[in-house]
Homo-oligomer: A and B are copies of this chain.
Amino acid sequence: MPKISRQARRALTEERRKQILDAAARVFAQKGYERATIAEIARTAGIAEGSIYNYFKNKGDLLINIPRQAIQPTVETMSARMTPITSDTLPPEQMLITLAQNMIATIQQNAHIFRILLSTLPTMPQTTRDRYLNQTVLYVLTMLEAYFNQQIKRGVFRRDLNPHTLARAFVGLFFPFILIREVLQVESDQDWTYDEIIQTLVPLFLRGVMADAPKRKSK
């Protein structure tokens, strides 16, 4: 005769897991995975070291579960903003600006997760790495790809372009800025704002990808 219903128990457990993963994410982001200690994660989470092992198999298990916990929600938020309906109503420039803004905002809000990803991915085992990537970066790339594909099919973007390439290139445009500011936190490289960058690069990208204006249709 449990004092708490099974459902309530479940919820409590889930709550605890979140609390621990949150602490782990913070410590991993600050110290890096290897130099983070279970002791510090426990302290940050406000529980005992041993308790962590009631919720996660081991240290690696924490790392594996961080993206679902921390990234997916924001990724989903982002994807929600990219529904076809929206893309119909917005002119490409506006759409791309919004996309870039969302992407950057998402990364900014989860900068510590990105730091973890960067320092961990290169030396992770294949399967873990793929799982991570699918849940995060590739997910976003796939959505972008769909949008570009649509625009190409409509003749808005040049027909000779490959949506796969475009998606990666578009994201890449902003990559160095994000890397420098959010991940590496280089302070000597700060005389710009994301808005300026977006206002410069989206039009630049568009000039590059837009199909020639209909005027020349007669060519």
Contact = CB atoms under 8 A, between A and B. Distances in A.
Contact of A175 (B138, B161, B176, B209): B176
A87 interface: no
User: Helix, strand, loop or mixed for chain A's interface?
Assistant: helix
Interface string A90-130: 00000000000000000000000001101111110000011
Interface in A169-197: 169, 171-177, 180, 183-184, 186, 188-189, 192, 196-197
Interface string A14-58: 000000000000000111111100000000000000000000000
Contact of A118 (B118, B168, B204): B118
Contacts of A175: 172, 175-176
Interface in A187-218: 188-189, 192, 196-197, 200-201, 203-209
Copies in the complex: 4
Interface in A62-90: none
A162 interface: yes
Given A30-B123, A32-B123, A119-B122, A204 B200 contact: no
A133 interface: yes
Contacts of A168: 176-177, 180
A31 B123 CA distance: 6
A13 interface: no
A164 interface: yes
A149 B205 CA distance: 19
Contacts of A120: 119
B121 A201 contact: no
Interface of A: 29-35, 115-116, 118-123, 129-130, 133, 138, 141, 161-162, 164-165, 168-169, 171-177, 180, 183-184, 186, 188-189, 192, 196-197, 200-201, 203-209
